[in-house]
Structure 1
Amino acid sequence: MDSVRLAATPITPSALVGVFFALFLFAHLHSRGAWNARSRGLPLPPGPRPLPLVGNIFDWPRSYQWTAFRTMAAKYGDVLYFDILGKRMLVLGNPSDILELLDKQSANTSSREHSIIGTLSGHESNLSGMPYGPWWRRNRRELWHEFYPGVVSAYMPAQQKSAHRFLNKLMKSPLKLREHVLFDVDVADDGDELIEMVEASLAWHAEAFIPGKYLVEAVPILAYVPPWVPGATVQKLSIHWRSTVTRVKKEIDRLAKVDTGGKSAVNRMVMRMAGSSEKLLEKDVEEIVRNVAAVAIDGMFSTVQSFFVAMSLYPEVQRKAQAELDAVVGPNRLPNFEDRDTLVYVNALIREALRWQNVLPFALPHKTVEDDEFHGHFIPAGTNILPNVWACMHDPDVYPDPEVFRPERFIRDGKLDFSTAPDPIKFVFGFGRRMCPGRYFALNGLFINIASALHVFAITPPVDENGVGIMVEPQVTDGLLWYV
């Protein structure tokens, strides 16, 4: 029987190219079809044109981002979209857009992106960076218990006492302003470890969470690069950051174990959770206490410093505030909280301090949980949303001459008025479900410290060795958290 020989036809290079092209075309069309179905044909928001693979990595500003984004908004609009190595970023520069997306649609825009920097630094459980969910709500509930409006009045006597202590220390050593500004904590006159920890914590927050600054956030595998490898900057920095976080946690643990009879917030939280019907593990109680106490530590550190800078630059503002204090409070006592409603100019001055150099040029980034639509554009799930608070607070159409410190912009007919210049308080404490629950406590601290300092001191620029005044130039850190 004759055998049958089967001859295999060799595949030519051109045939291989054709096969790969067909597969690529099929995958592309399938992906595009799935995307169109998901987005319902809506376009992404406007922004710089992304490059293949790397997206907008070269368009994302590395320093003073708030001003760079305002410049971009003049070209693309107030809603800017970026894709950085697959990480989606949405920057909002208009107050109405911010309030609509982060307040009215907060059920979908209240989460947080997992931070590789936070994990490297040991700060992964920080309340402000937690994703939205049951554990975040449990932590926030404890913070709200301590600082909701009906409770903060209980802190007023202690805040007033600490303001007097602040004045006394400032009188003894005015050159140590940065140390003394850490109010509501009884620190040593010659410096205290807690001050050092808070300063390090502020520097860490300002540096670590600048969106897009560190490549490791877009390429997580870089987190495993050893710190001794040349160029591993963030790995080296994370060693210092982790040690700072550890020290703060140890200090909070120490305070939690001090029996104050319920007089300290930390002690009250421990007692309240111990008596709660909700059964929590001891380690969970400790973690909640650390998270809540850490959030409350830095207070309005930056704003008080900015106030002193502004008073040295705008003596006429200082004189008007002091004239009001003289008329309302008089020369024989210090201001108290009962004077607050009568001190219209002082309250306007505090608003202007919050606006002029707002603590957070951006609010901490929010993250969408599900796909969304906004003004005819598709917002994919997992998009990080950055509200450009600085741009809102320095919009010349809303706040004329925004670089000028002018409390009068919030006063009309002798009363506080926000009809033409919106109240900065609505913007500087965050948005939606992520709004800072400690804002009432912080505002009380700002009022009593600023009013007391104005009533006692003449705040002037520093002088050189010849007694000649030195012109102060306001300079702030280049990071997510501003401080001078």
Structure 2
Amino acid sequence: MAFSTLQYVYVTLAIFAAGCVLSKIRAHRSLTPFPPGPPPRFLIGNLLDFPVKQPWITYTNWRKQYGDIVYAKALGQRVIVLNSTKAVRDLFEKRSHIYSDRPLIAMRDILGWKFVVGLMHYDDEWRKNRRILHQKYKQDAALAYRPVQLSKISELLKAILRDPENFEHHYKYMTASIIMATVYGYESAPKDDTFIDNGDKAITIMTNSMFPGASLVNSVPFLKYLPSWVPGSQFQRRAEECRKLTREMLDLPFEFVKRNMQKGTAIPSVISSLIQESEDTAENEEMIKGLGATSYSGTSVACALGTFFLAATTHPDVCKRAQAEIDSVTGLRRLPDYEDRTSLPFVEAIYREVMRWRPAMPMGVAHTATQDDVYEGYLIPKGATIMSNIWAMAHDPTKYSEPDIFKPERFLTPKGTLNDDNTILTFGFGRRICIGRHAAESTIWATIARVLAVFDFSYAVENGDPVPISGEYTDALISHVIPFRCKIQPRSEILRQLIEEAN
């Protein structure tokens, strides 16, 4: 990680501004070691060791050298990376009363993202917001969103049929339009939709800034006080843009719902129900705006669908096996439905493998310890940032043979039935598990099933040769596959007609 000379000056000033004061160390700390990790440098600790590019890969390599629990520190920030499912469950679930808080991440506040329930501190405000969202997204409540999901998936199939080269645009807009319809009762435009475009830009800036190493100010919060014109504080200019986009993401869809409710034309939605259920105060209004924006920003559905399209293109044998299974259930007379899910074990295995192979949030969302703790003989200090390396867990060779290979059959028994490995790690753990996971799961599964039912995938061809696919992913908190080209066509004329008639 490269820093300018001026940035090093800022770091040094921050250190000496703090007076190099050492915190008081409790007696047991002198006897209990921190977990192993990379050796720190003088003054800056492990600041240069925190990776900017795909940190989950670096942390997985640290696992090979230091073990399942790795410790690093920089300028007073202590970071512990958990590289195993056992460690995560032991801490985030069995000791959730200690590990359910979020660390102070400077960029969250600088960017204007304090409203996101998933990033809130573990306090009464979080409990109130989560309780409200839970009522809207719990498993039985999520069933109400299925008609909208299926309708939007049908629109996706038609869009791909008309314009297969822009499949990435189509599935991203579909996922956004499902959220806009269920959360705001808003029908998105097929392209250039202001609500969606503004929100996506704000989310991109946020997710690129949230993990240690992504921005210097996350390690040196003092830098947030620098004005934007000072060299080395480019993050302030990005933040100003993000705050504007975020404010629009909060305000514009909410005002759309409120206007339609006043006119009596509002379509029932999450936000319209919250407005009806709440007292008309400025505080409640701001909370409802935040709940709506949380619903929009928290999804990783588009990332999972990008992985599915990648896997479908590069693994035609997997598609053929799934299509044979689907055809045996639907008889080529209809599209698969949610009621077919238990009859399609291989399609289910594809869903699980998509979520494992390239997890949408490879590092999860960081937790923090609210008190000193000892685990496996190591000290977990109060205030430490605790990161779950979901990538390492999903690619653990002791659990998944050949973990880098896309192999759905790993989730099947020798008899072809599903095994009991049904946990989706990217949804998180313990009390901070993703609130909208049931709605997200049903969208992803139904899209996979219906796309496979009607389309064949192959490599794009240019000048007679297949166009190579890198299969690389972005470095953000929510990681997307880098855009690639492929060929998508209907499996038959009968299925083409089925697409056109779908509603």
Bucket of the pairwise TM-score, normalised by the shorter protein: 0.7 to 0.9
1:414 maps to what in 2? 416
2:319 counterpart of 1:321: no
Moved more, 354-363 or 42-51: 42-51
Q: CA separation of 1:310/1:227 partners in 2, compared to 1, >3 Å: closer, same or farther?
A: same
- CA distance in 2 between counterparts of 1:132 and 1:142 reads 15
Larger CA deviation: 252-261 vs 332-341: 252-261
1:61, 1:68 within 8 Å by CA — same for their partners in 2? yes
Establish whether residue 483 from structure 1 lines up as the match of residue 493 from structure 2: no
Residue 25 of structure 2 aligns to a residue in which SS?
helix
Q: CA deviation at 1:40?
A: 6.8
Partners of 1:332 and 1:254 in 2: CA distance: 43
Deviation at 1:482, TM superposition (A): 0.4
Distance in 1 (CA, whole Å) between partners of 2:251 and 2:465 is: 45
Deviations 1:316-361 (A, max 9, x none): 0111111111001121111111111111111110110001110001
Establish whether residue 66 from structure 1 lines up as the match of residue 71 from structure 2. Answer: no
Superposed displacement of residue 469, structure 1 = 3.0
Q: TM-score, normalised by structure 1?
A: 0.87
Within the candidate set 33, 37, 47, 1:43 is matched to 33
Using the alignment, how far apart are the partners of 2:26 and 2:204 within structure 1? Answer: 44
User: Is it true that 1:432 corresponds to 2:430 in the alignment?
Assistant: yes
1:366-445 matches, within 5 Å, as 366-412=367-413, 413-418=415-420, 422-425=421-424, 427-445=425-443
Counterpart residue identity of residue 277, structure 2: R
Separation of aligned partners in 1, 2:28 and 2:397: 39
Asked if structure 2 preserves the Cα contact closer than 8 Å seen for 1:318 and 1:454, the reply is yes
Deviations 1:195-236 (A, max 9, x none): 323431342233111212222122222112122222222112
1:448 corresponds to 2:449 = no
Measure, in 1, the Cα distance between the counterparts of 2:215 and 2:141. 40
User: Which residue, 269, 273, 279 being the options, matches 2:274?
Assistant: 269
Q: 1:115-130 to 2 correspondence within 5 Å?
A: 115-130=105-120
In 2: Cα distance, 1:177 partner to 1:239 partner: 32
In structure 2, relative to structure 1, the CA distance for the partners of 1:52 and 1:135 (3 Å cut) is same
What is the rounded CA distance, in whole Å, between the counterparts of 2:437 and 2:168 in structure 1? 22
Aligned residue type for 2:361? L
Q: Does 1:176 align with 2:176?
A: no
Alignment match, 1:296: 295
Work out which of the residue numbers 81, 88, 99 in structure 1 matches 2:89. Answer: 99
Amino acid at match of 2:475: D
Q: How many Å separate the matches in 2 of 1:454 and 1:294?
A: 31
Q: What CA distance in whole angstroms lies between the structure 2 residues aligned with 1:151 and 1:294?
A: 19
Gaps of 5+ in 1: 1-27, 275-280
User: 1:402-441 CA distances to partner (integer Å, 9 max, x unpaired)?
Assistant: 11111100011121103xxx4341x110111100011011
- Cα distance between partner residues in 1 of 2:475 and 2:190: 30
Task: Say which of 443, 466, 478 aligns to 1:469.
Answer: 466
Is the deviation greater in 48-57 or in 112-121? 48-57
Q: Output the TM-score relative to the length of structure 2.
A: 0.84
The residue number in structure 2 matching 1:108 is 98
Over 3 Å counting, the alpha-carbon distance change for 1:198 and 1:475 in structure 2 is: farther
**Counterpart for residue 247 of structure 1:** 248
Which of 370-379 and 189-198 deviates more? Answer: 189-198
What is the deviation of 1:470?
1.3
CA shift, 1:240, in A, is: 2.1
Structure 2 distance, partners of 1:256, 1:106, is: 37
Please tell me whether residue 156 in structure 1 is matched to residue 158 in structure 2. Answer: no
Partner SS for 1:90: strand
Partners in 2 of 1:442 and 1:352 — Cα distance? 16
Q: CA deviation at 1:139?
A: 0.8
Per-residue deviation, 1:272:
2.2
Q: Which residue number corresponds to residue 488 of structure 2?
A: none
Task: Pick from 128, 131, 142 the counterpart of residue 132 of structure 2.
Answer: 142
Q: How many pairs were matched up? A: 444
Map residues 194-209 of structure 1 onto 2, 5 A cutoff: 194-209=195-210
In 2, distance between residues paired with 1:253 and 1:149?
A: 25
Shift of 1:262: 6.5
What letter corresponds to residue 385 of structure 2 in structure 1? N
For 2:167 and 2:296, the matched residues in 1 are separated by 18
* Contact 1:57-1:85 within 8 A present in 2 as well: yes
Query: Contact (CA 8 Å) 2:115, 2:294: kept in 1 or not?
Result: no
Q: Deviations over 1:256-307 (max 9, x none)?
A: 4132667211111222234xxxxxx722322322222222225311001110
Q: Any conservation in 2 of the 1:354–1:424 contact (CA below 8 Å)?
A: no
Distance 1:114 1:255, change over 3 A: farther
1:462 partner amino acid: A
Bigger mean CA offset, 138-147 vs 111-120 = 111-120
Hey, what's the Cα distance between the residues in 2 that align with 1:318 and 1:198?
33
CA drift at 1:38: 4.8
What is the DSSP-based 3-state SS (H/G/I as helix, E as strand, rest coil) of the residue aligned with 1:58?
A: helix
- 8 Å CA contact 2:46–2:74 kept in 1: the answer is yes
**Gap regions ≥5 residues in structure 2:** 1-19, 181-186, 482-503
1:342 corresponding residue in structure 2: 343
Answer with 264-273 or 341-350: which moved more. 264-273
**Contact 2:325/2:346, CA 8 A, preserved across alignment:** yes
Match of 1:88 among 78, 81, 91: 78
Percent identical = 31
- Measured in 1, the distance between the counterparts of 2:159 and 2:22 equals 65
Q: Which residue of structure 2 aligns with residue 24 of structure 1?
A: none
Deviation at 1:96, TM superposition (A): 0.3
SS in 2 for 1:150: helix
Residue identity matched to 2:202: S
Other-structure match for 1:193: 194
1:208 match: secondary structure: coil
Deviations 1:66-120 (A, max 9, x none): 1111212222111011111001110000110011111111111011122211222
Bigger radius of gyration among the two? 1
What SS is found at the alignment partner of 1:386? strand
Question: Secondary structure of the equivalent of 2:308?
Answer: helix
The whole-number CA distance in structure 1 between the counterparts of 2:37 and 2:51 is 13
Partner of 2:66: 76
Please report how far the alpha carbon of residue 468 of structure 1 lies from its aligned counterpart in structure 2 after TM superposition: 4.2
